[in-house]
Chains A and B, each alone.
Chain A
């Protein structure tokens, strides 16, 4: 009898503890762009060749990845490219050729100012290529880099 009461008391205590536990998850869904998912974003830094703005990677509903630069500004220069590098960040004027940094070419920089989109080749591993770099191929110089973080 006493044993049964003890067991009941333990269960009652457990129930109270569980009941008082704060709800750990507040889930609510917010509608997002139609079929378009924002994966990662980050801001550019670069002092030597004053670079600023935001880089964001979107996934379209057909699985294609797009890099979009917004409020973007950098120096104009010869043979400037947009690349993804296998690093968490990059210093000003870093030479990726010398440091043997792996990269994915996204194309020539369309303009040194303004909003612009670049297609990312299918199969690019974003877990490995974590930084966007504005890279001057002719002088092997990093104008600016944007480390990407999950959005």
Chain B
């Protein structure tokens, strides 16, 4: 019986190979399983000549908390180690004693009202205007890996008007 089966296999093996090999090749071409562990890395230059012009480092969209706030917050490298924060398409409520701060996005204080001393923050100055594009200088030593949120904070009423989580540009 066994001998009979093996002889059948022997006779048909060319047919099996003729069907099996193309099927295997087709399956390989379809799924390209080797790509699961082979990476293809590219590193094209930016479409502009990287120069002394300011380059964005981080960016994020502002969302309203206590007051409707919108726009974009971006951190730029402005040559010779200086960085600044730029708000664009910016709108928030007008209010008394409003400040721009950098804080840690994970800080629990940000989800409630808090006195400024309770927050681990970097003060960037009073909000220059409640609408429009505006720049704020960053102190040289700020660690943006740690302070990864821009906060529009009303000091008089201890509330967060708006918040932007910064992500690498």
Contacts and interface: CB of A to CB of B under 8 A. Distances in A.
A31 interface: yes
A33 B93 CA distance: 31
**From B48, B61, B86, residue with most partner A Cβ within 10 Å:** B48
Nearest to B133: A27
Contacts of B132: 24-27
Contact of A111 (B41, B53, B133): B41
A70 B55 CA distance: 14
Contact of A28 (B36, B43, B134, B168): B134
B42 A36 contact: no
Interface stretch (A4-12, A85-93, A112-120, A121-129): A112-120
Interface string A25-57: 111101111101010010100000000001010
A12 to B, nearest CB: 24
Contact of A78 (B31, B41, B45): B31
A23 interface: yes
Interface of chain A, helix or strand or loop or mixed?
loop
A26 B44 contact: no
Interface residues of A, number: 40
B35 A76 contact: yes
Contacts of A110: 40, 42, 44
A148 B153 CA distance: 27
Nearest to B169: A54
Given A30-B86, A38-B56, A113 B41 contact: yes
Contact of A77 (B32, B56, B88, B169): B32
Interface stretch (B17-25, B110-118, B123-131): B123-131
A3 interface: no
Contact of B129 (A24, A111, A150): A24
Interface of A: 22-28, 30-34, 36, 38, 41, 43, 54, 56, 58, 60, 66, 68, 70-71, 75-78, 110-117, 138, 149-151
